Chains A and B, each alone.
Chain A
C-alpha cells in the first residue's frame, strides 16, 4: 500500500509537470513585439481570461465572428447547427440572423472566397480558424486582435505587434478606432525590481520606451473596455470552436472517475481479503 501511494504521488507529479508545461509553438516570447503598460515585458500576451461556460459571451463572440470574420475565415470542420445548439440560439433565429448566404443550418461553415484569389489579394490564403485556438492558444488570439496599429508603410495601411507584417487588414478598425504605436515616458526599473529613484532628490527616474499602443480618442465606436470585452468574447468563441465537446467530455469524465473510484475501492478490499490467505 505504501508503495502504491508513493507511485501515485510520482505519477501525479509527472502529470502536473506535463500539464503545467506549455509546449505551444508560441512559447518563448509568444506575442511578438507586443508591449503593455501593465507587464512592461515585450512579447508577453495579455491574459484572455475566457470562460467557456459563459454562454452570453459565446453568443456575442459568434455574432462578431459571423459578421466580421466568416467572410474570409472559414470554420469548415464545424457545423452551424452545432453552434446554434451549443450556444442556445434558436435554429430559426440563427438561420435568419447569423447565416448570410444560402447555406443550410446542417452544413459545415465553408466560405465562398476562392483560396487562390485570396492568395493574390492578401499574399496568403486566410487560414481556417476552427482549430486556431488550439494551435496558438487563446491568450495569443486575444492579444493579436487588439494589436493592430496604423502603419502607412504596409500595403493595407496597418501592421500588427503580435504578428509582424501580417497580411490581414484591420477589419475591426471602426470598432476600436485608429491605434498607433507610440513612445512613452515610463518609470525606470531598478535592479531589485522596484522603481529607480534619484539617490539625491528621491525623485522617480523616467526613461522613454517605444512600442506602446494607443487609440486616438473618438475614432472608434467602442471604448477600450467595450472593445476588450468584445475581443474576449470573440476569443472565447474561437476557444469553444477548437474544443466544442469540452463541457460534455468533462461531465462524462466525472461519472467515469466516480465509477472507477468505487471499482478500485471494492477491488482493493477484495485483494486485501485474498491476501490474508497468503500469510
Chain B
C-alpha cells in the first residue's frame, strides 16, 4: 500500500530519487574529520536564525522612534521574548564563527580546487550575503552603536571619487542616517537578503552533491568504486553521517545555550554595551567598534592612513577592506599546486597559511581596540601578510616541493 502511494508520487515528482541522491545515499568520504562539522552546524544556525527572526519580526517596530523601545518590549513584555532575541544575537555570532571555520577548512584541504571552483564561489557568495545580513541586522535595534556603525560604514561609499556623495545620499535615502535608512535596511534584512541566502545555500549544496565532498587527503574518492558503482572510500550519509552529526549538534548546542542563557552579551562581544543607549545623532561614542566578526576588516580600513595617486586614504582603506573580503573568491585560480590538501603541500604553503591565520586574529584584535600609532603600524604589517598569503600563492604553490599523494584516503 505504502509502496503504491510512494510510486504514485514518484511517477509525478522525483521524491525518493532526490532524497537518495542528496540525503540517504549521498556518499561521504570515510576520513572526514571534525573540520567537516561546520557545514552541518551552519545549516542548524540558519534554521535558528530564520525561526527566531520570524518571531522577533512579530513584535519589532521598524521606525526610528519605536525601534529601540520595541526591542525592550520584546525583552520585557513578550512572553519568552528575551529567549527569542538572545537566540538571534547569539546565532549571529555563531554564524560567523562557523563560517570562518568552514572557510578555513576549505583553504586547508584545498576544497576550492578543480572541480570545486563553482562550489567555492557560491560559498563565498553566502559569506558575502552573511556580511550584509550582519550589518543590516545590527542597525535594527537602533542603539548608539547601531547608528554609528551604520554611519561609519555607509560614509565609506561617500569616499568614492566623483559620484561618492551622491551615491551615499542615494543609499541612505536621506542626508544623514535616519528612519528612512532604518526602513530600507529592515526591508533588506528581513526579505531580500534571507531570500537570497536561502537560494544561494541551496545552490551551494546542489553543487556540493554534484562534485562530491572533498576530504582531508584531497584525493578523489570516485576513482575506486565497488561493483554497484559506489565509491569505495565512502559511507552513506544515512545513517552514518546523520548519527555523527546529531552528536556534533548536541555538543554545539551545549556551547550555544551556555552563551545564550548565561552570558547573553558575551562580555560585550555578542551585544555591545554601548548599544544599551538609544541612537543619538548628536552624541558620538568614544570608540566606534564594529561587531567582532568584522574587526579584521575594520583594522584593514583603519590601517590605510595615507593618500595615494590622488585618492583619499579613506577611499583606499575602503578598497583594501573590500578586497580583503573579495579576494577569497579568487583562491581557485591563485592556487597552482598539484595537490589539494595541506597535508601534502610543501613548506611554503604551510608557512603562509599559518601567517594568514595569525594576521586574521591580530587584525581582529586591532580592529576591536582604539587605534594608536604603534597599533596602526602593526595593522599595516599584518594587512600586508594577509594579502601576501593570497597574492604570492601563484608563485609559492607552483614552485614548492609537495609530498606524494596516496591513491586512496588515509585513516589515522
Contact = CB atoms under 8 A, between A and B. Distances in A.
B257 A250 contact: no
B276 A4 contact: no
A135 B276 contact: yes
B76 A264 contact: no
A109 to B, nearest CB: 11
Contacts, number: 124
Given A130-B72, A267-B247, A260 B261 contact: no
A256 to B, nearest CB: 5
Contacts of B268: 21-24
Interface in B59-80: 69, 72-73, 75-77
B253 A271 contact: no
A271 B247 contact: yes
Given A78-B76, A274-B239, A278-B240, A19 B276 contact: no
B246 A270 contact: yes
A25 B274 contact: yes
A76 B277 CA distance: 13
Contact of A264 (B72, B73, B251, B258): B251
B261 A250 contact: yes
Contact of B73 (A19, A77, A137): A77
Interface in B213-254: 235, 239-240, 243-244, 246-247, 249-251, 253-254
Interface residues of B, number: 48
Interface in B286-302: 286-287, 289
Interface in A192-245: 242, 244-245
Interface residues of A, number: 48
B261 A24 contact: no
B2 interface: no
Contacts of B249: 267
Contacts of A135: 273-274, 276-277
B3 interface: no
Interface in B1-60: 30, 33-34
A253 to B, nearest CB: 3
B34 A267 contact: no
Q: Is the interface of B mostly helix, strand, loop or mixed?
A: helix
B381 interface: no
Interface in A42-89: 76-79, 82
A100 interface: no
Contacts of B260: 253
A11 B253 CA distance: 13
A264 B247 contact: yes
Given A24-B268, A242-B276, A256 B239 contact: no
Contact of B247 (A3, A256, A268): A268
B82 A245 contact: yes
B273 A249 contact: no
A131 B264 CA distance: 15
Contact of A252 (B34, B73, B261, B285): B261
Nearest to B259: A15
A261 B257 CA distance: 11
Contacts of A256: 257, 261
